[in-house]
A = this chain, B = another copy of it.
Amino acid sequence: MIIVMKPNASEDAIKHVVTEVEAKGLKTHLSEGEEVTIIGVVGDKSKLDTTAIEAAPAVEKIVPITESYKLSNRKFHPQPTSFKVKDTVIGPDTMTIMAGPCAVESEEQLMCIAQAVKKAGATILRGGAYKPRTSPYSFQGLEEEGLRYMKTASEETGLATICEVTSAHAVESAVKYVNMLQVGARNMQNFELLKEVGKTGLPVLLKRGLAATIDEWLNAAEYIISSGNPNVALCERGIRTFETATRNTLDLSAVCVLKEKSHLPVIVDPSHATGVRSFVEPLAKAGIACGADGLMIEVHNDPAHALSDGPQSLNFEQFDSVMDNIRPYISLAGRK
């Protein structure tokens, strides 16, 4: 951590900051420039109240040098994380395909989709039972009924299942029915929810917030891991920019950054990121090519009548074709 003093900071003001920092057991290094003086701080910064220092009148700004997340940080865990979801493994040697409808609509619908995606090669069935929707007048999900269908589909097909949770109450229900929990983009910084999913024993897929920096994302993962749950995967699903030709802007360089900064597996969701069916295949390939550990793809038996997110869903034939076409990319990436 570096403390940059204001150009006109008096010696007294500098000394005052140094004294406060050293009082917490940290060491300082003074560097007097021609324009400004900077104070390097060495030691365990968690002992220090940095906002207090930043508020001191003669302090210009604080420049952090090391990251505030530790448990999700590759520096302290150089080996990539890998974990099991039912019988499937998410990690550096596999390409995990999660597929299914945006929203669970009925038992028949879900079963029919589950069989189709299994046949095409997916190993995790996704399906929303709690749908966070922009308008209160849109379909909000089947809730516990939907979860029950997920469990049945899992039992009949052997697929693992993942479902989004949106409240402590939903977590309580979901743990009884599914194998993996998803925290959606809108809840990435719903810290109470992060603590709740952290307390369950289930693997968690943490989607990136619409305007979340990678640093904030890894700090959100830190909430889950520090609540006792190390099995976290991160899902890039597009960020909000000025561009309106796609629903969001898929940030594939984030995959590279995450691989460097963290040991957690990374999943790419080209369906939500673009909102356009025909972009799913090329961006799925691109995601694999730049290092993703898995893909999340929306599949629906009848996209033209889906209750949620139809335009980006693939039908069975399209999903089969995508799976066929990405296979050589999975091989090239040395995964199975």
Contact = CB atoms under 8 A, between A and B. Distances in A.
Contacts of A244: 213, 244
A136 B226 contact: yes
A19 B53 CA distance: 33
Contacts of A137: 46, 68
A187 to B, nearest CB: 6
Interface in A130-151: 132-137
A251 B243 contact: yes
Contact of A136 (B223, B250, B257): B223
Interface stretch (A84-92, A112-120, A299-307): A299-307
User: Majority SS of interface residues in chain A?
Assistant: mixed
B222 A136 contact: yes
B210 A211 contact: yes
A125 to B, nearest CB: 21
Interface residues of A, number: 107
A275 B329 CA distance: 26
A29 interface: yes
Interface string A277-307: 1110011011111110000000000011111
Interface string A303-336: 1111111110100000000000000110010000
Interface in A5-62: 7, 29-36, 38, 40, 42-44, 46, 49, 51-57
Interface of A: 2, 4, 7, 29-36, 38, 40, 42-44, 46, 49, 51-57, 63, 65-66, 68-69, 75, 132-137, 166-170, 186-187, 189-193, 209-211, 213-216, 219, 222-223, 226, 239-246, 249-257, 260-261, 273-274, 276-279, 282-283, 285-291, 303-311, 313, 328-329, 332
8 contacts: A33-B66, A51-B309, A51-B311, A63-B63, A211-B211, A215-B245, A241-B251, A250-B251
